Every structure is written in structure tokens, then in C-alpha cells.
Chains A and B, each alone.
Chain A
Amino acid sequence: MTTESTEVGGVVKSDTPPAAPSTDTTRQVVASTIANEGAMGERILDVRNFSVDYGWGEGAVRAVDSVDVHLDRSTVLGIAGESGSGKSTLVYAITRLLRAPGVITSGEARFNLGSNEDGEHVIDLVTASEAELRSLRWSSISIVLQSALSALNPVVRVGAQFEQVLKTHRHDMSKVERRARAAELLGMVDLNEDRLDRFPHELSGGQRQRIMIALALALDPQLVIMDEPTTALDVVTQREIISELFELRSRFGFAMIFITHDLSLLTELADEIVVMYAGALVERATARELYEAPRHPYTLGLLDSFPPMHGERTELSGIPGSPPDLAHLPTGCSFHPRCPFALARCANETPPLIEIEGSGRSVACWLHVGDDGAAVPVELNRVSTSIASPSERVTEVSS
């Protein structure tokens, strides 16, 4: 569990005016950190003020709104949210794989390629050229999609798809070595070498997804993106693949972004989790804290939508209503029409993402803004048993 990754996770909507007096200083601190922070250190990806629109001009719809996310080497960032929350859009746009009519309208996404004697090699993916992106793709960042059947070329044998990747990026490898490497990769995901001679449609869903994972690891990338990799599979296979995945991660130490709508799955495997709603971040916390003490009503709803992987059975309540239409978002907090705890101001004022003082976690919800004076509902005021610092408790008590 790495808690360092959340250290700068305060208010980072740098182009917005101060939302509340209590956070004003935090914002300035963050701003100065950005200015001085040429070096990324352990940080592998740093995304700031990132916005994505679908469409242009009058018809444009904001799909991702001024989002900040970051992750450190060898950590797992979970992104949770319902479909349409912008979680996939965010990640595809960061990797510049988002299709038209998606357009990045603000922000930067700095990727740390590592350091050598010349210093750190950092690249902003948003301004990177096609050639720069191509050299970085798969060798540094790879991706696994939800449906492996559509992600694998249907008329090319599995082995040839490995061959293609290795041949493009590993010029020094001979044909025999490439074949051996492909076989080794299949072994890592518990598949027999003979699968290399099969076509994708000849394999089961689980086998195909394992092959996608093996392909994603083919070049020892620093970052692997998992876009709902197990959603299309049955529960047993899902379980197997997840545990394999984490075994591989501990072996090779790549960082991972894991996108899913299944928050209870994330709480088991992520270090840090961000929750997205209607294109914006609504909560950020370590997995443990989020699971034990959610602070945003939406997070609470998401946790109640899925059975926990372990532990006692609880009643699933889910979230009333349906995800909002991005073209016609409610005023104020986008979640307020579905929120059981909505206050009067929620309908008019958009809550900023603010740090809960001293805790290193942040939430975008008026319930937690002290000067409002409203009592935080007991469901959102649970105390995390693990690392809840005294200062956090103080904040909560005072609010």
C-alpha cells in the first residue's frame, strides 16, 4: 500500500478560483509544486487539468472535465464509475487513442520514461508527435480491452500477433527468439505454447483475455492499462485472471491503471482509487480508506451496488436513477438529483474537489465543506480503521 501517491492530491483545479477559504492555501502550494516540479521522481504518470470534449463548437459535449490523476511506479490506480462517467474516455484520451469526435481541450499528461545519466526523460503525451507516441506505445504503455475477441485481429494467428509486436519493437531478436519469447509469455498466463498456432475465434473467452494480457506484457512496459478486462467473463474465470494478473504484477512491477464499474473489485486490488461521475472526479482515496469510509454519496452508492468479494453478505441498495445525459447536466453538483443527502446548495453550486484536511484524500461534495455547517450523514462519516490520522478525525468532528 503506497500512501505517497496521494501526497499532492489536494485541490488541483488550478484554473478555478478558490472554492472555499480553507483550501486556498493548499491550492497555492500545489501550484508552486507544479512550477518547481521538473523532476517526476517515482511518479510515472501525471495528468493535470485534463478535459475532453465530444464534438466541436456548439454541439460539443464535455465528457471529461478538468481531471487530475497521477500514479507512481509499480502502483495500481483504480478508476471507477458507471458507464458514461468518462473513465474510459479519460484513459483513451491520455494515450491519444480516443477516436473522433473526441478532442482534448485542456491539460497535460506527463509520462516519465525513466532516468539515465542525462536526467529524467519526461514526455507530455498531449503534445507528443505521432512518431514519439509510436515509439512509446506498447514498449512503455500497453492496454488490455474489455473484449479480447474484437481486440485481436480475427484473421491472424495468435503467434503471428506476438511476432508482429516483437518484430516491431525488438529489432535485435531473431525469429527463433521471438517465438521462444511468445511461448514464455503464454506460459506466464498459464497457456500452452500450442495456442500460438490458433486463431482467436478458436479459443475461449478466458484464453483470449489471457493472451491479451500476455501480449500487453510482451515488451515489459512500465504501465499497463486495463479497461474492464474481466467484465465479459464469467465470475470464476474473472477471479482466476485477476489473481494471475496480480501475481504477474508483483513479479514484474509494472504500474497499472484499472478501469471498472465494479468498485468492490477495485478496493481489493488498487492502491489508490479515483471515482468519476459525469466526467469529473468526485472522490480520491486509498483503496482501503475508500472501502471502509467512503466520503462521497456516489461512492457509497457504487459500493452498495456490488457484493463484496469477501466477507458477509450485505443488502445491495444501488443508486437510484440513471447516469446523467452529458449534454444536459443538472446544475450545481451533477449528482444531486440522485443523491439521498442533497442539500439546498447542491442544486446551484458545483462542489470543488477539496482535500479533507490532513487526510490526503479528497472529495467533491458540499457535505464535507465545513463552513456550511450541515452535519455529515453517518454513512459518510465512518472512521477508517487502518490509517485514519488523528487530524482527519478532527476535521470530521468539527464539520
Chain B
Amino acid sequence: MRLIVRRLALYALTAWVAITVNFLLPHFMPGNPIQTMIGKLTGQVTAQEINAIRLSFGGGLNQSLISQYFTYIGQLAHGNLGVSITLSAPVSSIVSTAIPWTIGLIGISTIISFFVGTVCGALLGWTRGSRLDSFIPTATFFQAIPYFFLATVMLLVFASNLHWFPVLGAYSQNLQPGWHWAFVASLLRYAELPVISIVLGSVAGWMLGMRNMMITMVAEDFVLMAIAMGLPKRKVIMAAARNAVLPSIANLSLAIGLVVSGALLVELVFNYPGVGDLLLNAVQSQDYPLIQGIFLVITLTVLGANLLADLVYLWLDPRTRTEVAQ
């Protein structure tokens, strides 16, 4: 349990840092962005809404920074992330309708990508020196392409030109959202291309990392022993892969942040109704409350995913478990 407690403390601290950065940024950036924004809004929205926006930044300017900070934290504790300027709705409700799309899209893509990359990487590592090695430069190239560019090309070629996939959005506009088969089928159909883009962009990273670890593991004595024991090849590879995958999972926490960062832009390319698309629209319309709210929600979600990855690691590596037991 000690490891989990330590990680929890780290994530709590990280969340606090994110919240504090979020609070301090608008107050310390040159040009007094809050005041400018409220100045621009005066006359367009009601005084009540301006008040709500002010509150989400910590309250009136006549108060001390410390008291503003506590007001801000208090607001967050009540789930109040402020009001979006452009959408004239509470940020929390806007984000909560968008976040399931993002979690679904990125979650599924990451799981697929991790599995495919790990399996391919294990095989590449095992067959090192064979013809399969010539595949590595190609994988490196895919690893280096920004996700959004890859997504753009995929969209152009496979959706726009070849019509293999639907073009934009998350489901057919002719359907009424709900838990019926036609809608779910459409949901899956529209998710295919975004998922493929994210997987293609991220799979090479898992694959190459796994290959390196696999090569390192194959040099270990216990793999030689598995062969000396006359185990079938499949089991020998599994013995090596089972150990090689551990560093990959340990690195999952770091990678989740990177994958999420990349995948957010894929939503923009496909007009997918997740937080990525929302964030980028907010950036373009300088909707600060929305930007900040989304940043916090993304950060908390990523931290949650990190914790999940830690639990998986703990479950797979008995050595960490003993350390905990001691």
C-alpha cells in the first residue's frame, strides 16, 4: 500500500500545483487579462454573469490575493468552474458533456495502441536481426509525425477521397442519440478513423520501447533457462515479454500525458465533440474561464489514469508488492 499512498500524495500535490497555476496565471500575466476580458464583456452580458466570472477567478480586485485564492479554491470545491463567455453556460456542465467523448476516444485508442505496440514490439525484439528489422525506420517515421497531421492526411485520403469512412463528427446527424443499435453502430463507425489516427501515431512509441526492453530481457539468464527447460517457443517468448512489458507500464503514466496532448488535436481535425475540440475553440475565442476549466479537468483525468496505470503495474510486478508488504 505504501507505494499507492506515495503515488496518491504525488498526484494530490500535482493537482494542487495545477490549481494554483491556474489561479496565479491570470493574476500575474502582463496586460491584466481578466480586467481586459471583463471590459470587453461589459454590456454584452448581464451583471450577474460578470459577477459569476469574477468569482471563478477569485472575486473582486479590491480583495487581497490570499483571500482571492481561498475564494477560488472554495468555488472549485463546489464544482464551480465559472461561466463560459462564448457559450454563456457554466463551464462545469459544458465540460461534463464533452469529457465522456474524450475519455472514450483516447481511452480506447490508448488501450488498442498499447496492446498492438507491445505485441509487435515483443516480436520485433525476439526476432531481432531478421528481415522484420527493416520495419523500424518506418515505425520511427510514424512516431515523429504529429498526430494532427497524420489525422489530417487520413481524413483527406480515406474519408474525403475514398469515402471509406464518414467525414466529421461523432455520429450521424440523422440519428437520435440514445442506447439503440443504430446509434451505437454509427458511434463506432464515426470513431474508427479518429481511433486509427491516434493508434497509428502512438503505436510506434510503444513498439520501439518494447522492442528495446525485449532485447534486454532476451539477454537475461531466465530466458536461456526457459529454453534449456525445453519449453515451447511461445512460452519462452511470453516469459521474456512478461518481464519486458513492466517498464512500458511503469512509463505509462508519462505517456498518458503525451498521448492525451496529441489526441486532443485529433478531435479538432475530426470535429469530434470532446474537450480537445472544445479547448481549441475556447482558445480561439479567448474564453478564459472555459480554457482554465478544461485544463483542470484534463489534468485531473490524466492523474486518475496515471493512478490506474500504477495499480496495473503493482498488480503485474510482484517485486513492488513485496516492497509494499514489508
Contacts and interface: CB of A to CB of B under 8 A. Distances in A.
Touch A–B, Cβ below 8 Å = yes
Interface of A: 95, 97, 99, 133-139, 142-143, 145, 147, 150-157, 164-165, 168-169, 199, 201-202, 215
Contacts of B137: none
Contact of A135 (B230, B319, B322): B230
B302 interface: no
Interface in B199-239: 219-222, 224-232, 235, 239
B233 to A, nearest CB: 8
Interface residues of B, number: 23
A137 B45 CA distance: 81
B239 to A, nearest CB: 5
A155 B246 contact: yes
B316 A164 contact: no
A155 B318 contact: yes
Given A145-B221, A147-B221, A199-B319, A153 B239 contact: yes
7 contacts: A137-B228, A151-B222, A154-B318, A155-B316, A155-B319, A168-B231, A168-B232
Contacts of B221: 145, 147, 150-151
B230 A153 contact: no
Q: Tell me which of B220, B227, B246 has the highest count of chain A C-beta atoms within 10 A of its own C-beta.
A: B227
A53 to B, nearest CB: 18
Given A145-B225, A151-B225, A139 B230 contact: yes
A215 B222 CA distance: 13
B232 A150 contact: no
Contact of A97 (B219, B227, B232, B316): B227
Nearest to A153: B222
A97 B224 contact: yes
Interface of B: 219-222, 224-232, 235, 239, 242-243, 246, 316-319, 322
B230 A136 contact: yes
A313 to B, nearest CB: 36
Contacts of A137: 227-230
Nearest to B232: A168
B231 A165 contact: yes
A155 B243 contact: yes
B222 A143 contact: no
B324 to A, nearest CB: 13
- Name the residue among A95, A133, A153, A169 with the largest chain B CB count within 10 angstroms: A153
B226 A153 contact: yes
Nearest 8 interchain pairs by C-beta: A137-B230, A150-B221, A199-B318, A138-B229, A138-B230, A153-B222, A151-B221, A134-B230
A169 B222 CA distance: 18
A177 B235 CA distance: 21
B229 A168 contact: yes
Nearest to B229: A138
A145 B229 CA distance: 12
A150 B316 CA distance: 18
A199 to B, nearest CB: 4
Contacts of B318: 154-155, 157, 199, 201
Contacts of B322: 199, 201-202
A50 to B, nearest CB: 19
A105 B225 CA distance: 24
Contacts of A142: 228-229
Contacts of B319: 154-155, 199, 201
A201 B232 CA distance: 25
Given A138-B230, A155-B317, A99 B235 contact: no
B243 A154 contact: yes
Contacts of B227: 97, 137
Contacts of A169: 230
A54 B226 CA distance: 23
Nearest to A168: B231
A124 B124 CA distance: 32
A95 B229 CA distance: 12
Given A99-B224, A150-B220, A156-B242, 9 more contacts: A135-B230, A136-B230, A138-B228, A138-B230, A145-B225, A156-B239, A157-B318, A165-B231, A168-B229
Nearest to A199: B318
Given A150-B222, A199-B319, A164 B228 contact: no
Nearest to B246: A155
A147 B220 CA distance: 11
A133 B232 CA distance: 11
